[in-house]
Amino acid sequence: MVPHGVVLVALFAPLHETVHRRPFRAAGSMMSSAGYAGLLLVLPSEYFRFFHFAHHRHTQDPPNDPELASPKPTTFAQWLIHVSGWNYWQANWSASSRMLAAARPSLFWRRRAPPRVVTEARVFLIAYMLTAATAAAVGSWRRSLIGCCGACRPAFLRLYLLAEHTLCPLVPDMLANSRTTRSNASSASWPGTCLSRRTSRLPVGAVPCAPVAAR
Q: Which of 10, 4, 13, 54 is nearest to 208 (CA)?
A: 13
Task: Give the separation between CA 37 and CA 45, rounded to whole angstroms.
Answer: 8
For 89-101, what is each residue's pLDDT tens digit? 887 788 888 777 7
Give start and end residues of each alpha helix (H) in 85-181.
86-100, 115-137, 142-149, 153-165
Tens digit of pLDDT for each residue in 168-189? 778 777 777 777 666 655 554 4
Question: What pLDDT shows up at residue 167?
Answer: 77
Is the CB of residue 89 less than 8 Å from the CB of residue 151?
A: yes
Q: What value does the mean pLDDT take over residues 149-153? A: 58
Q: How many CB atoms lie within 10 A of CB 198?
A: 20
What pLDDT, on a 0 to 100 scale, did the predictor assign at position 33?
Answer: 92
Per the confidence metrics, is the pTM higher than 0.85?
no
Per-residue confidence at 200, pLDDT binned at 50, 70, 90?
very low
pLDDT in tens, 36-94: 999 988 888 988 888 888 888 888 888 888 888 777 888 899 888 888 878 888 877 88
Query: Distance between terminal CA atoms of the chain?
Result: 41
Does residue 199 surpass a pLDDT of 60?
A: no
